Structure 1
Amino acid sequence: MSAAADGAPRDWTIDALATLRREAARSADTHLLRLAFPGFPGIDFYFKDEAAHPTGSLKHRLARSLYLYALCNGRLRPGQRVVDASSGSTAISEAWFARLLGLEFTAVMPTCTAPRKIADVQALGGHCDLVDDASQVYERAAWHAADGACHLDQFGLAERATDWRGNNNIAESIIGQLADEPHPHPAWIVCGAGTGGTSATIGRYLRYRGLHTRLCVAEPTGAAFARGWRSRDRDAVASQATVIEGIGRPRVEPGFLFDIVDEVVEVPDTASIAAMRLLEQHLGRRYGGSSGTNLVACLQLAARMRERGETGSIVSLLCDPGERYDRTLYDPQWLARNGLDPALAEVALRGVIASGDWRQMS
C-alpha cells in the first residue's frame, strides 16, 4: 500500500488517540475514602471510589487502555465495528468510548447479566448479544471478530494493555494519594479478579516501586482464580457459580498472574451481599457485590494483623455503583428466588467490625 493510500487511516488513528488523550485529561482522579472501624485500632481502611468514573466503574480505566492498545497496534480502523465479551461493567465503559470515537459497539454478555447493565449499554448506543451459556461469550465474540469486528478482548489483553509502570494507573494513583497519610505504604492492597488486569497492574507496580505492600485477590468461594492460584494450575475451573458479577470467573483467564499475588481470600456470596449493605451504611451510597467481596477480605486481613499486634493501612476498591443491581442483589425477592439470605452474615460482619475478632464469622 502506498503512503498516500495509508494516509486516511493513519490520520484517523492519530485523531482517535488525541480524542482519548483529551478525555483522560478531562477525567479527574477518583477519591480515596477512609474508614476507621472500632475493632481495629491502629489499622486504617481506604477504599478507592472507582464508581466515580464517567462510566461508573473501575472498568473505565481498562476500556480506555484497550482502545489505546487496539489503535497503537493497528488493529482498529476507521468505521470498524468493535466487540467484546463482558459481564457488564466493561461493556458499559467500552460502549461509552465507542460512542466517543464514533464506532459501532457490540457487547457479548450472559443472559443473566443484571438488567440495568444491559440497559446502560443500549442507552450508550451499543448492541447486546446475549448468550444463555456464560462460557460461550468468548466464542461468540470471536465469531463477531471473524466477521470483521475489532475484538478488544479484555480477558486476553487486559494485563498487557495497561501501563503498569505508571501513567496514572490505579496503583500509582493509590500510592500517590496515600503519601501524606499515617501509613503511606499500605500493608495490603485488595482487589478482585475479573480479567486479571487490575491485580496484574497493582502487583507489578508494587514490585517496580520496591514496596513491601502485599497484594490480596478477593474471590467468590470456589472461583477459578483461587483454585488455580493455590495449585498454580492454569487449567483450573470454578467449583461453583457465583452471583457476584465482574469477578469469580469460571476459568483461569489469560491475564491471571499467580506469582505476583500474595494471598487469595474466598468469600461466600451471602457475605459479599451483606458487606455491600454495610458499605452503604458507612459511606452513604450503594456499591455492587464485588465491593462487598473486597470489604470482607479487608476485614479478614485486618483481623490477622490485629492478632499479631500490627498496625498499618489496607486499601481496596469500590468497583461499581449499586444502582446497577437494583433488580438483583438489592432486590429481596430476587435474593429469595435465588436462595440467598445475607442476614446472618451481616450480623457476623457487624460483630467483626465492632470487635476485630474474625471468629465472629464462624
Structure 2
Amino acid sequence: MNRAWVREAVRLIEADANRSADTHLHVFPLPAEWGIDLYLKDESVHPTGSLKHRLARSLLLYALVNGQVGPDTTLIEASSGSTAVSEAYFARMLGLDFVAVMPRKTSPEKIQLIEFYGGRCHFVDIPSAMYTEAERLAAECGGYYLDQFTYAERATDWRGNNNIAESVFAQMQLERHPVPSWIVVGAGTGGTSATFGRYVRYRRHTTKICVVDPENSSFYGAWQTGVMDYTTGMPSRIEGIGRPRVEPSFVPQVIDEMIQVPDAASMAAIQLLRERTGHWAGGSTGTNLYGAFQLIARMLAAGQTGSVVTLLCDGGERYAHTYYNDEWLADQGLDVDAEMAVLEDFFRTGRWPVS
C-alpha cells in the first residue's frame, strides 16, 4: 500500500471535518407549561446534507488506516441513498471511483446527488440483493466494499473525537436540562444508536436511548424477541432507516426502548415540523419526532420535566417527488390526515392515545 498516498488521503478527510462547523441543535417549540424541552440535532447542514456524512467519513478513515484502500481502489457500497451520496463525495475528494448498489426505487434526488459527486449507481430490483451484489462487484474489479451495515458501529469512535453523542452533550451544557432524559434515533445500520448507547454508559449519564423503527423493518422484532436473525424480507419506505434483516452493526444491548412508528405517522410528523419550525426534513426525521412525542407524553403523564434530543437526519428537498407529493402518498395508501389529528390532539392536551 502506498503509505504516502494514505497519509495525504487521511489529511484531506480530516481537513474537510475541520472546515465544517458543528451541526446546529434546534429547539422544537413545546408548550412552556409542560416543563419539557425538545431539541433536534440538525445533520442536514453537513456538506453532503445528511447524518450519513459522519458515517461516510468514519468508514473511509477506517478503511484507510486498516490498509484496505489505495490510490487505485474502486469503492463499492450497498446503500439506500444518503450514505452513498456522502461516500461519493469523499471518493471524489480522494480521486477514487465509486459505485453505489441500491434499490431501483431510490429517490431520483439521491441518485442525482450520487452522480453529481462522480459516483455510479448500480440498481437491484430486490433490496435484499444489495449485499451480495456489492460483494460481487468488489471482487470482480478488485475493489473494496465499504459495507456500512457491518462496520458502522466499529468505525466510529464512541468515546469521543467529536462523535455525534459528544457533540450533543457539549451543546446541551448550558440548557436548563443539560442531561437529556431520552435520546431518540432511528436505525439503518444501527451505528448511531450504538454510538449514543455506548457514550452515555461510558460518561455515566442517566440518559436512556430509544430507537424508533418504521413499518416492515426487522430491528423492532429482533429487539422484542431477542432473535438476532429476525427478518421481514420487506423494504422500508422510510429511506435511511429500517431494514429487511438485522444488520451486524445493530447493538440491542445498549438500547433502552424501541417504538414502532407507522409510515403515515412519519409523514405527518415532517409536515408538522415544517408548519411549526420551517424546517424541511426527510421521512426518518418524522419517525424520530413521532417517537419523541410519545415519550414526552409519557413524561407529562408521570409529572416529569426534562429534555429530549432527536435528529433532523436530512433535508426534505431529497423527497420532493415522494414524501411531499400528495399523489405518491395516496398511491402508498398512507392516511396522513388521521396521524396529523393524533399529533394536533397531543399538542392540545399533552396526552397520547391509548393503543
Shared fold, TM over 0.5? yes
Do the aligned partners of 1:36 and 1:43 also contact (CA within 8 Å) in 2? no
2:191 matched to 1:200? no
CA distance in 2, matches of 1:55, 1:133: 27
CA deviations on 1:285-304 (whole Å, 9 max, x unpaired) are 31000000000000100111
- Decide which of 5, 9, 15 is 1:22's aligned counterpart: 15
- Which residues of structure 2 form unaligned runs of 5+? none
2:45 matched to 1:67? no
- Decide which of 91, 96, 114 is 1:121's aligned counterpart: 114
CA distance in 1, matches of 2:26, 2:133: 39
CA distance in 1, matches of 2:308, 2:323: 26
SS of the residue corresponding to residue 123 of structure 2 reads strand
- Decide which of 3, 6, 13 is 2:6's aligned counterpart: 13
SS of the residue corresponding to residue 34 of structure 2 reads coil
SS of the residue corresponding to residue 83 of structure 1 reads strand
> 2:302 aligns to what?
308
> 2:89 aligns to what?
96
CA distance in 2, matches of 1:305, 1:279: 21
- Decide which of 125, 150, 160 is 1:166's aligned counterpart: 160
SS of the residue corresponding to residue 239 of structure 2 reads coil
- Decide which of 216, 221, 224 is 2:215's aligned counterpart: 221
TM-score normalised by length of structure 1: 0.96
2:143 matched to 1:149? yes
SS of the residue corresponding to residue 195 of structure 1 reads coil
CA distance in 1, matches of 2:177, 2:68: 43
CA distance in 2, matches of 1:293, 1:353: 17
Identity %: 53
CA distance in 1, matches of 2:232, 2:182: 25
> 1:3 aligns to what?
none
Distance 1:56 1:99, change over 3 A: same
- Decide which of 73, 89, 94 is 1:80's aligned counterpart: 73
- Decide which of 343, 348, 351 is 1:349's aligned counterpart: 343
CA deviations on 1:26-82 (whole Å, 9 max, x unpaired) are 011000001232286111000000001000000000000000000000000112110
SS of the residue corresponding to residue 358 of structure 1 reads coil
> 2:276 aligns to what?
282
CA distance in 2, matches of 1:60, 1:157: 15
> 2:316 aligns to what?
322
> 1:58 aligns to what?
51
Shift of 1:354: 2.2
Shift of 1:88: 0.3
2:268 matched to 1:268? no
TM-score normalised by length of structure 2: 0.97
- Decide which of 222, 227, 232 is 1:238's aligned counterpart: 232
CA distance in 1, matches of 2:237, 2:324: 12
CA distance in 1, matches of 2:160, 2:152: 15
CA distance in 1, matches of 2:245, 2:234: 11
Shift of 1:337: 1.5
CA distance in 1, matches of 2:261, 2:305: 24
Distance 1:264 1:130, change over 3 A: same
CA distance in 1, matches of 2:236, 2:161: 34
CA distance in 2, matches of 1:129, 1:316: 32
Distance 1:85 1:240, change over 3 A: closer
Query: How many residues of Structure 1 are paired with residues of Structure 2 in the alignment?
Result: 354
CA distance in 1, matches of 2:302, 2:216: 28
Q: Which one-letter code corresponds to 2:103 in the other structure?
A: P
CA deviations on 1:135-173 (whole Å, 9 max, x unpaired) are 000001101111211111100100000000000000000
Moved over 4 A (4+): none
- Which residues of structure 1 form unaligned runs of 5+? 1-5
Do the aligned partners of 1:39 and 1:356 also contact (CA within 8 Å) in 2? no
Shift of 1:239: 7.3
2:68 matched to 1:111? no
Q: CA RMSD in A?
A: 1.3
Do the aligned partners of 2:102 and 2:122 also contact (CA within 8 Å) in 1? yes
Do the aligned partners of 2:216 and 2:243 also contact (CA within 8 Å) in 1? no
Do the aligned partners of 2:216 and 2:244 also contact (CA within 8 Å) in 1? no
Do the aligned partners of 2:236 and 2:244 also contact (CA within 8 Å) in 1? no
